[in-house]
Amino acid sequence: MTDILTHVFATIEDRKTNPKPGSYTNSLFDAGEDEIVKKIGEEAVEVILAVKGQGDTRVISELADLAYHCLVLLAQRGLSPEDVAAELERRHRPG
């Protein structure tokens, strides 16, 4: 699971440092953080709608879209999935 997330995030970071004409990721970076956050909100709503009657295939698809846009936001802010993993680890330490 983490291999593909690592690969996707590396591609996102590469687009940030080496923009590629026509790249959707670059269009998000160019639009700025407000647009990225707006897309995250839209995708979150689409996840909810999928859960409420569009079937598991659609739920998975929408969750993938949401995860991608969250990764773009992390890159935009100079953060990484490892930062999120560290926070989850901190929250779930025994004791």
CATH number of the domain where residue 73 is located: 1.10.287.1080
Give pLDDT, residue 51. 98
pLDDT tens digits, 47-92 = 999 999 999 999 999 999 999 999 999 999 999 999 999 999 999 9
pLDDT value at 1 more than 60 = no
Report the domain count for the chain: 1
Four-CA torsion 46, 48, 49, 54, nearest 10 degrees: 100
Q: Which domain holds residue 9?
A: 2-82
29 domain-assigned = yes
88 domain-assigned = no
95 domain-assigned = no
87 domain-assigned = no
What six digits make up the tokens of 57?
């295939």
Q: How far apart are CA 24 and CA 50, in angstroms?
A: 23
Give pLDDT, residue 95. 64
Mean pLDDT estimate for the chain: 96
